[in-house]
Amino acid sequence: MADVARGAARTTQSCTIGALVTAMTAVLSTVLTPDEARREARELLAAVHDMPRHWPTVEQGAAVSADEWGRALHAAERRAAGAPLQYAAGRASFRHLTLDVDERVLIPRPETEVLIEIVLDALRDEPGGIAVDVGTGSGAIALALASEGRFERVIGTDVSLDALTVARANAARCARVLRAPVDLRAGSLLGPVRERPLRAVVSNPPYIAWDERDALPTSVRDWEPTVALFSGSDGMGATARLVREAARALGARGLLAIEVDMRRASLVAELVATAGAYEEVRVQLDLTGRERFVVARRREALG
């Protein structure tokens, strides 16, 4: 595919965005139809430059440096090899943030943006305190809470040192828009967090059962990190542990907000409701109307 890209580059009259789209299209045409390849080339190029999708069309006469040309063709080659678009581009959008992403972290998804909205709405009149993002990955949840919320501090935890490296780079990238300091720590679930009481525990934990692996799209199964996808006990292991740990860490009326597998939302809600430490347990829907989030408040007093 690199030979295809170089050949396409040699046929261009100048290094412009329009010519670069043509070169990227040649690469992507090895796996897509010509129309699909051109559409995806424009979308990928916009993502690489963190620009709107229409940007390559509007600015097709603008000059492109040799470095930009090389980076974009490399992204096209990775995409043609099967990498998700965000990994190929090395970037993903999450709410108002642009984050660096690669195979060390999950790709932030639109449904998780709803989780942020749930937390912000629930705590809108309760400023301060510490929020913890468990399994922070790219840092998407922690950074969104720190930039949009009214917390004293936000802590992100992850068992993956590789993921924390990505998250720290994103924290530096987003530093100008953060309203609260972000502390990223290595460890499992709430293990690295000794502060008490917590205002909120928020998480998109691994919730796919191991025997469901083959049913996943190849773009997920073959590219995204296993540790962030799969959990034992039929996908409920990490969530069950988090519910127990959060009960001991949250202060009175503290918020627990978890993203869950839509097939297990009722099971997670039952788990939270029967733990004895929570009240106001509810299941909330994602953008497509699927049961995707379980939210609860820590009881003011435990019996």
Domain that holds residue 134: 92-298
> Is residue 303 domain-resident?
no
Same domain, 153 and 263: yes
Same domain, 47 and 116: no
Same domain, 64 and 114: no
Same domain, 75 and 124: no
pLDDT value at residue 302:
66
Percent of the chain predicted with pLDDT > 90: 93
pLDDT value at residue 9:
46
Same domain, 26 and 102: no
Pairing of strands 291-298, 250-259: antiparallel
- Where the chain has pLDDT below 70, the residues are 1-14, 302-303
- CATH number at 31 reads 1.10.8
pLDDT value at residue 303:
55
Rounded to two decimals, the pTM is 0.92
- CA dist 27 and 23 (Å) reads 7
- Cα-based angle 163, 292, 274 (whole degrees, multiple of 5): 100
Residue 254 has phi, psi (to 5 degrees) of -65, 155
Same domain, 149 and 249: yes
Domain count, the chain: 2
